[in-house]
């Protein structure tokens, strides 16, 4: 059973996807418990061919091409194709840690959780990465009252997850927003 689906909207980001998709494939979850859905706005940079190669070895990677006119439309197409109970949004330039999906799922297993928002760490060098990775204060989640009523402004779609049923309930992404 697919517990979590990762939706990655993209357009001509093959150079980034060559790093992003292998990191998602290498998650610490059991095969069959997750899938990767790449909603591709008809890229012309070899994205389709790359994803076909990956899917040949990892059939839980799905290419969903279409004439999407923005990330909102691409995300909605990815949601529609997704089989997981939880949808995790990952941008096409975000390289996931090996435990990204299991950590999101652990939070969703807690009562009352409607959304999980992770952080994105921008790094310029390996040394910068190590320093930021080891900074525990930046990695500790918000707990209790601090996290109960966060504004929608905190829902950054580069590393956020929500039950598919909640997305269906609120009407998904506004496709008129093309930013």
pLDDT, tens digit (0-9, with 9 covering 90-100), for 10-54 = 999 999 999 999 999 999 999 899 999 999 999 999 999 999 999
Q: Which residues sit opposite 113 in a β-bridge?
A: none
Query: In the prediction, which pLDDT does 157 show?
Result: 67
Helical spans, DSSP H, in the chain = 14-25, 47-57, 71-81, 100-108, 126-133, 136-139, 145-148, 164-170
What is the reported pTM? 0.84
CA dist., res. 134 & res. 130, Å (int): 6
More confidently predicted of 48 and 133: 48
- For the domain made up of 4-121+152-170, the CATH class stated in words is alpha beta
Residue extents of the structural domains in the chain: 4-121+152-170
Query: In the prediction, which pLDDT does 158 show?
Result: 75
Query: In the prediction, which pLDDT does 118 show?
Result: 72
Buried b (16+ CB within 10 A) or exposed e, 68-93: bebbbbbbbbbbebbebebbbbbbbe
Structure tokens at 125: 């060098």
Helix (H) or strand (E) holding 90: strand 86-90
């Amino acid at each position: 059973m697919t517990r979590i689906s990762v939706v990655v909207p993209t357009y001509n980001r093959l150079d980034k996807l060559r790093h992003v998709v292998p990191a998602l494939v290498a998650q610490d979850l059991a095969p069959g418990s997750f899938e990767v859905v790449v909603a591709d706005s008809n890229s012309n940079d070899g994205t389709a061919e790359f994803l076909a190669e990956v899917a040949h070895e990892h059939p839980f990677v799905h290419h969903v091409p279409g004439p999407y006119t923005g990330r909102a439309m691409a995300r909605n197409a990815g949601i529609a194709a997704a089989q997981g109970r939880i949808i995790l949004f990952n941008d096409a330039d975000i390289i996931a840690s090996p435990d990204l999906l299991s950590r999101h799922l652990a939070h969703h297993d807690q009562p009352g959780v409607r959304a999980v928002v992770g952080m994105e760490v921008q790094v310029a060098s390996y040394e910068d990465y190590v320093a930021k990775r080891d900074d525990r204060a930046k990695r500790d989640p918000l707990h209790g009252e601090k996290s109960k009523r966060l504004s929608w402004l905190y829902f950054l779609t580069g590393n956020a997850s929500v039950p598919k049923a909640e997305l269906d309930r609120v009407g998904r992404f506004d496709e008129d927003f093309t930013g």
